[in-house]
Amino acid sequence: PIQLRAMAIGLADVGWFPGLQDPTGESTWPPAVVLMAHLSSSRGRALLCGRNVLELGAGNGELAKIVAAMRPRKLLATDLPHRIEQLGDVLHGTCAEAAALPWGDQKAVEMLCRRHFGAPHADVVLISDCLYTNWVEDSATALAVTVAAALGERSGQAHDGTALLAYVPRSSALEEQFFKCTAQLGLRKLPLPKPDVYLLKSMEAAREFEEEELHAVLLLELSRSCSRKPVPGLRAEREKMALAAFVGHGEVARQLSETPSSFPLNTTPSKFPLSVNCEAPDENM
């Protein structure tokens, strides 16, 4: 079983940095900008429209505000406890809610999803810039367990959950540990094309970044390894619903693009493992 001594900090009042001010969650970073643009396509909106969306590490709430305009069924933005009040203020007036969620706690994920979505899982999980450095022991493993728990039911019932991960490579050991764990938990990864940099630079949130910073972002999809045939017409119907719901969203609509992208919607989970041995890779290898 995973030993997540450090990630119990998800429930601590002091956050990740005992005795110090937590520097995370104050700004919008390139991974969030890339994910905003990626989700702004017609197929991206179709992925979100009418579905239960969970964001991990929501930070300042800017990505959640954009996603809220795409008419998800419900949107839950999560972060550390001391960030929730400010996050809730930012999201006030949208369909989004804010809640604390400790990484690595499968039961906490299931309980939170049941409370907000009426189901033990989310349809879509968004992860922006949550892989940066191992300030906290086992953070990569804890994040992997949280993503896997949010995407599938322990009963193994069919579910087409999808996670989108945007990050800048900083620690090869941390990333290797994360992807080793997600693979052991039954998730497959699929690299996704990034939006055109000129499209990105046209967005207000991207204007403070250089092209090189946006190019450095990696964008991946995580989903269950098993697959099933898609429901006929489901993708087209979601796209139609999303387009109809999105028309007329003013300033948010002007920031978003119509550039198409591809989101497989035909995945189904395997039975969620109750334990996994995700040892950190040897730094000397």
**108-137: pLDDT as tens digits:** 999 999 999 999 999 999 999 998 765 566
In-domain check, residue 99:
yes
Q: What is the pLDDT of residue 175?
A: 94
Give the domain CATH number at 113: 3.40.50.150
Domain residue limits at 90: 25-255
pTM: 0.74
* DSSP-derived 3-state class of residue 196: coil
Q: What is the pLDDT of residue 156?
A: 53
Bridge partners (DSSP) listed for residue 219: 166
Diameter of the chain measured on Cα atoms: 55
Q: How many domains does the chain have?
A: 1
In-domain check, residue 283:
no
Who has greater pLDDT, 145 or 255? 145
In-domain check, residue 279:
no
In-domain check, residue 178:
yes
β pairing state of 124-128 and 187-191: unpaired
In-domain check, residue 3:
no
* Summary mean pLDDT of the chain: 75
CA angle 245, 247, 253 (to 5 degrees): 110
In-domain check, residue 130:
yes
Q: Quick check: 6 pLDDT over 50?
A: no
In-domain check, residue 6:
no
In-domain check, residue 235:
yes
Q: Quick check: 194 pLDDT over 60?
A: yes
Bridge partners (DSSP) listed for residue 56: 127
